[in-house]
Structure 1
Amino acid sequence: MPTPAQQVHDWLATYDAPTASVAHLLCDRHPGSAVAVTEIGEDLEPAVHTFADLARRSGRLAAGMARLGIGRGDRVATLLDRGFDLAATAMAAWRLGAVHVPLLTALAPAAIGTRLAGARARLVVCEERVRHKLQDAGPWRVAVAGPGGLAGDLTLDGLAAGAGPVPRAEAVGGSAPFLHLYSPGPGGVPRGFEVPVRALAAFHSHFRYGLDVAEDDVYWNTHDPSWHYGLYFGLVAPLLAGHAGLQLRAGADPELVLDVLAEQRVTNLVAAPTLYRTLRSTVKTLPPEVAVRRLSSAGEPLPEGVVDWAGDVFGAPVRDHYGQAELGVCVGQHQHPDAAVEVPPGSQGTSLPGWSVAVLDPFDDVEAAPGVLGRVAVDARESAAYWFGGYAGDPKARLTPDGRWFVTADTAVRDREGCFFFSSRDEEAILASGYRIVPGDVETALLEHPDVVEAAVYGAPDGTGGQTVAATVVLADGAQAGPELAEKLRELVRGRFAEHAYPRTIDFVEELPKSPSGKIRRSRLGPRSRG
């Protein structure tokens, strides 16, 4: 068996080759009878789709897309719920050498329009229930996953019907993009970036060595596959490894989660800390059918109490993992025997195979001594799995001047054994219900209301050890603070940015706490006159 480092290099030899084809790597090379996606509806009835099903459906969709003129390098966006339609649509785009642009259905129309325009999308495939969010005219065609839609729309079934011969899977090579994603930027402006095919080596490394997904595991990643972590490790990595993935098309409340764990006999679970905290507050004993051997978490630090609780109730600890949209996962408590390292309590683990991660001095771009708090950075030269090529129009963003270090904006201490102890993870970001919400995005939406002069958004405790979105607002002279205005502001955020990011609490104040330089002191924000 190759060492983990050698295995990453072997994957790169395949995924970074000039002949690399995403549709071949994620679908066509696997046995047709193997299960690719198990879609679970609200009634908990599973719909099982094999790799042969995925090849057939995506091939027909690719033929339909080709009829529309979609080809290599074109952008195909989706506003789809998790499930087989999303997997087949993405695979169809990859068959043509096109680039998939996944968007959350919860995004507001303006946020969707900005991202579609930035990606230069040519086709948008959406759920019928969110079709109204695309009413603004754009240079893209629309296909609806259902019988509805507007005049001139296609249906997803119509796109796949009678489309002619299935195109051969396009070989694009390891440097070509296959995903176009967005990351929050300064001032709430989303920054687009591309994920090249060679990034599959990084995703495969975490899937095998970080999550330890075994061949006989029933694997369930509860993150939304239109969001970075759920996309990389709930959709792409399982398909890459030829492994079935569960996709639940219903809200993940504790009772429903337990039902899925029991009925599907899940053995490898990946979930946001929010879900673990919710389970902890409601679950005392597990149904006898639940037998999970691996529990993993990502997105925010895990409270020690949750780790201990999971060990007592599930008989397995929750293992923490760290990464960013621009990296995937690069540090963690790896669970595969070939990569597992004992880490002390409170540590988020060590560098993943294929990655060299360090802590830099707070001021100079040199490695800090063990035990010194500094900036977490990835060695772009020494990390075989590193793939980020910068943001659109800014290819050198977040790199040190010499191009060696990708600086994450998080801080940590690293001990002499290479174990990381994170002090903050982009401390202004709000980690709520598995989503990373940048305050500037919400503040921009709030400031669109004529009564709002200033707004500061921050994360407030949600009662289970997690966070919820909160806002402190300064109103214009004569504006009337109160519950009615607060609800209007919430609706504004839902409509202008995203449904999941509205502030649950809003405080009205005469002025925001600021430093002498004018920077908002978010640590001093809190309840005063609440709406």
Structure 2
Amino acid sequence: MTGSIEATVEEWRAQYDVDSANAAWLMCDRHDRDAVAFRVVEEDLSTRDITYGELADTSRRLATVLAEHGVQQGDRVPVLLNKGAELAFTLMAIWRLGAVHVPLFTAFATGAIELRVTGSHAKLVITEEGQRAKVEPIDGIEILQVGDELDRRVDAAEPIAESVTVGRHGIFLQLFTSGTTGSPKGVPVPLRALAGFHCYLHYGLDVTADDVFWNAADPGWAYGLYYAVVAPLAAGRTSIFYRGGFTAESTVKVIKELGVTNFAGAPTMYRVLSNSGLVEGVRLRRAGSAGEPLTPDVVEWAREALGTEVRDTYGQTELGMVICNHAHPDLARPLKPGSMGQPSPGITAAEVDGQIAIDVENSPLFWFPGYFEAPEKTAERFTEDHRWYLTADTGRIDEDGYFFFTARDDDVILAAGYRIGPFDVESVLITHSQVVEVAVVGRPDPEGIRGEVVEAFVVVADKSIDHAAFEKELQAKVRNEYSKHAYPRRVHLVDELPKTPSGKIQRYLLRETEG
């Protein structure tokens, strides 16, 4: 790093990595009240701007209402809301109380929601009318619904006098990630992580004050939450919330109508755009990608179709984005096909035991405190001397210092930018009366769009079962009981599952199965 970059990293640490750190101050109150925090875009492309002043005033009154429901410092508060003004006000109100936001993806069914609600010991869930039915079956949880009634209470409430200071180690987010076995693991995010998030927005994506910035990822997941919500708030930038679903047509319209200059999203989005034939007259200053490796053909397409390169980046829920093809001119280097770039400022990375690893002692922007109530799982992520954080992703480094992702060391499925744990899907499928055993894996998407697709290998009780009808039953079961994004695109009926002598399923053999 140059001296100026090191000085900038130290400046962020001085802002965020201190005992006096206050979430509401750092992400709202210190900014210009007239500046726009979020531009909410409806499907008809009508817009509503939420200024930092409105965000501050409304969240102060909503915090009073949440306190009346017993929300206190350290409480986990799951939020099941679509992108919009209510989400922005709710998150800031939670942080004003020193409480912890637990994101819930709006495509989740009750099963996935309950895992996260119970796993965080939450007492209150905040949701909206269209999502409420998913929460109601969960025992012992209070539901607070946004809408007219809550708006009236907020309007009448006195604003909270002081926001709670939690300090640099205070937790303000708790996401959940899952791997091959066991329940989803809680990832507590301390306030000091803001320094790393701000760093990625600045150096990784090169978001400037003059940009019209749109990170199209969903804030129910790490990339959207960290870099469409938290990092722009920390930096005092404007972020776009588009309330419609992703399609090539809608994406092009939003970019053109709002004059987007800096766009970020999953490789799937770029692949859909490149295959659509709808991208005409689009010119971006910067384009970033995250979630799964970016294929070289998309990079080549983007140079002509978008007027800029798509720069791939690598990270995890536990880290944020830490290895990047940086877009900022102070760090930008020529792209190499298949490479995810170099370590970000404040991060030192290497290859340890074949894995991509982060040097804890020499990475001032490393922040992962360990999994929530899971010391054994936490220990698996570090070398014995705690010097290195192990990502469980294998990779290599070339002679020029470029990092390349080669494979996952676990069996997490990377589908359309989402990380899907096989165990979560298997836990639903195994409850079907005909399923004796099941293993779920990710396999390359035959359409080349999603990166990987979920496929299930099933041992059934009745060998004469109608395969097509059974497959539809299992797909619907996962959609209804777990999540719409995680259903198996194909179901294979097998006589037995390949296992090690100790009985562990050999998923890598299933991934290599033909057909």
Question: Same fold, TM exceeding 0.5?
Answer: yes
State which of 344, 368, 381 in structure 2 corresponds to 1:398: 381
Q: Who is 1:246 aligned against?
A: 240
The change in CA–CA distance for 1:59 and 1:451 in structure 2 (over 3 A counts) is same
Q: Which moved more, 1:312-321 or 1:473-482?
A: 473-482
**If the length of structure 2 is used for normalisation, what is the TM-score?**
0.94
User: What letter matches 2:383 in structure 1?
Assistant: T
Q: Do the aligned partners of residues 21 and 211 (structure 1) sit closer, same or farther apart at CA in structure 2, a change above 3 Å counting?
A: same
Distance 1:475 1:384 in 2: 51
Question: How much has 1:70 moved relative to structure 2?
Answer: 1.6
1:430 alignment partner in structure 2: 413
The match for 1:303 is: 295
Q: Which amino acid aligns with 1:299?
A: G
Structure-2 residue corresponding to 1:52: 53
For the 8 Å contact 2:442–2:511, the answer to whether it is kept is no
2:487 is the counterpart of 1:512: no
Of 367, 372, 378 in structure 2, the residue corresponding to residue 387 of structure 1 is: 367
Q: What is the distance in 1 between the residues matched to 2:231 and 2:339?
A: 25
Instruction: Report the RMSD for the aligned CA atoms in angstroms.
Output: 1.8
Write out aligned runs for 1:161-310 (5 A): 161-283=155-277, 285-287=279-281, 290-310=282-302
C-alpha distance after superposition, 1:366-404 (max 9, x if no partner): xxxxxxxx2110011110001101112314340110001
Q: How many residues align?
A: 506
What residue identity is the alignment partner of 1:524? E
Q: Deviations over 1:292-333 (max 9, x none)?
A: 110110011111111100012112111000000000011010
Secondary structure class of the residue paired with 1:387: coil
- Relative distance call for 1:33 and 1:462 in structure 2 (3 A) is farther
**What is the letter of the counterpart of residue 90 of structure 1?**
L
Letter in 2 for 1:437: I
CA distance in 2, matches of 1:302, 1:426: 19
| Structure-2 separation of matches of 1:231 and 1:20 | 20
Partners in 1 of 2:227 and 2:174 — Cα distance? 16
Query: Greater CA deviation, 61-70 or 390-399?
Result: 390-399
CA contact (8 A) 1:37 1:246 kept: yes
Q: Distance in 2 between matches of 1:425 and 1:299?
A: 13
* Greater shift in the superposed pair: 189-198 or 501-510: 501-510
Q: Which deviations, in whole Å up to 9, do the C-alpha atoms of 1:40-78 show, x marking residues without a partner?
A: 111111111111111121111101112222221112210
In the other structure, the counterpart of 2:24 is 23
The residue number in structure 2 matching 1:525 is: 513
| Distance in structure 2 (CA, Å) of the matches to 1:508 and 1:69 | 50
Aligned to 1:102: 103
Aligned residue number for residue 124 of structure 2: 123
How far off its partner does 1:8 sit? 1.5
The equivalent residue for 1:412 is 395
- Specify whether residues 407 and 317 from structure 1 end up closer, same or farther in structure 2 by C-alpha distance, changes over 3 A only: same
Q: Which moved more, 1:219-228 or 1:116-125?
A: 116-125
Which residue number corresponds to residue 377 of structure 1? Answer: 357
Assess if the C-alpha contact under 8 Å between 2:412 and 2:420 holds in 1: yes
The answer to whether the 8 A contact 1:350-1:420 is kept is yes
Equivalent position amino acid for 1:505 in 2: R
Offset of residue 165 of structure 1: 3.5
The alpha carbon displacement at 1:284 in A equals 5.9
CA distance in 2 between partners of 1:525 and 1:51 (Å): 53
Give TM-score, length-normalised by structure 1: 0.91
Q: Tell me, in whole angstroms, the C-alpha distance in 2 between the residues paired with 1:233 and 1:399.
A: 26
- The CA deviation string for residues 337-394 of structure 1, in whole angstroms up to 9 with x for no partner, is 122233433321100001001111x3xxxxxxxxxxx211001111000110111231
Deviation at 1:139, TM superposition (A): 3.9
Listed as ranges, the matches of 1:358-507 within 5 Å are: 358-360=350-352, 362=353, 374-393=354-373, 394=375, 395-426=378-409, 428-460=411-443, 461-465=445-449, 466-477=451-462, 480-507=465-492
Partners of 2:277 and 2:499 in 1: CA distance: 42
One-letter amino acid of the counterpart of residue 98, structure 1: A
Query: Is the Cα–Cα contact under 8 Å of residues 32 and 52 in structure 2 kept in the other structure?
Result: yes
Asked if the contact 1:300–1:425 (Cα under 8 Å) also holds between the matched residues in 2, the reply is no
> Hey, what's the Cα distance between the residues in 1 that align with 2:186 and 2:269?
29
The percent of aligned pairs where both chains have the same amino acid is: 44
Question: What's 2:343 paired with?
Answer: 351
Distance in 1, Cα, partners of 2:316 & 2:327:
20
Q: CA deviation at 1:188?
A: 4.8
CA distance, structure 2, for counterparts of residue 199 and residue 34 of structure 1: 24
Deviation of residue 427 (structure 1)? 6.0
C-alpha contact 2:356 2:392 (8 A) present in aligned 1 = yes
- Counterpart contact for 1:299–1:434, Cα < 8 Å: yes
Task: Pick which of 21-30 and 184-193 moved more.
Answer: 184-193
Query: Which amino acid in structure 2 is aligned with residue 409 of structure 1?
Result: A
Letter in 2 for 1:294: R
SS across alignment from 1:407: strand
Change (3 A) 1:397 1:158: farther
Range with bigger deviation, 156-165 or 388-397: 156-165
Distance in 2 separating the partners of 1:447 and 1:123: 30
Unaligned runs of 5+ in 2: none
**Paired residues of 1:96 and 1:167 also in contact (CA < 8 A):** no
Q: What is the CA–CA distance in structure 2 between the aligned matches of 1:77 and 1:200, rounded to whole Å?
A: 20
Aligned with 2:194: secondary structure?
helix
- CA distance in 1: counterparts of 2:294 and 2:344, whole angstroms: 19
